[in-house]
Amino acid sequence: MRIQIGARQTMERLEEMLDGAMDGTFEEDHYNETELSRLESGILEIQPVKQSLKPLLEGVAETFGPGAGEKDMTLECVLPPEEVLCRYDRKWTGEALGNVVDNAIKYAPAGSRVRIRVREFEFYVCIQVEDQGPGIPEEERARIFGRFCRGGQVQQEEGVGIGLYLARQILERQDGYIRVSSREGEGSCFGLYLPQSKEA
């Protein structure tokens, strides 16, 4: 099942981001730094529970679809034919996935495509975000998840380089992880891995 993007928001956190972007009051870097500080200090707690991935994927796609449309890009979300359950905190995982999707839209060229899809493994469920951007040089891939790290090919774009670091922190606190594969000039594929939940 493939969904195309509408305007309705289904996640409280993502709705706040979009509203702020529309009225000019949302400061992404400041918000991410504040959230990161609170997360690292333990003020904010991540609480993963067994639930379906569908609302998360739909919410992220609906939120970031308008931004993709402004660049004449296609944001495609491929939903699995059957319900996929895993353990995750919906709000914080939405933050992590949103950071990855936002980067893909920001750095990929106009007219290209960003695709979100799901792969199931024995112990993990992987949310893949594929783009047709500039790709990441091999020497940079090991450090892009570090704090304040920005790739050499995207220095001209706005941002301070904490989005992927925040995504990594969120996933690791849910017993998950994030990986990337990339080819320069062909794009990148980020995989967000969450613990599988097959028990009744």
Please name the amino acid found at residue 78. V
Bridge partners for 126 per DSSP: 119, 193
Local confidence band at 139 (pLDDT 50, 70, 90 cut-offs): confident
Task: State CA 190 to chain mean position distance.
Answer: 9
Check residue 36 and give its pLDDT.
62
Give CA torsion, residues 56, 57, 61, 64, to 10 deg: 50
Lowest model confidence (mean pLDDT) among 6-10, 78-82, 83-87, 131-135: 6-10
In the predicted model, is pLDDT for residue 166 greater than 80? yes
- pTM summary value: 0.75
Backbone angles phi, psi at 32, to 5 degrees: -60, -40
| Across 70-74, average pLDDT | 95
- Separation CA 114–CA 127 (nearest Å): 13
Check residue 181 and give its pLDDT.
94
Check residue 41 and give its pLDDT.
65
Which is nearest to 194 in space by CA: 80, 2, 53, 59? 53
Q: What percentage of the chain has pLDDT greater than the value 90?
A: 55
3-state SS string for 141-177: HCCCCCCCCCCHHHCCCCCCCCHHHHHHHHHHCCCCE
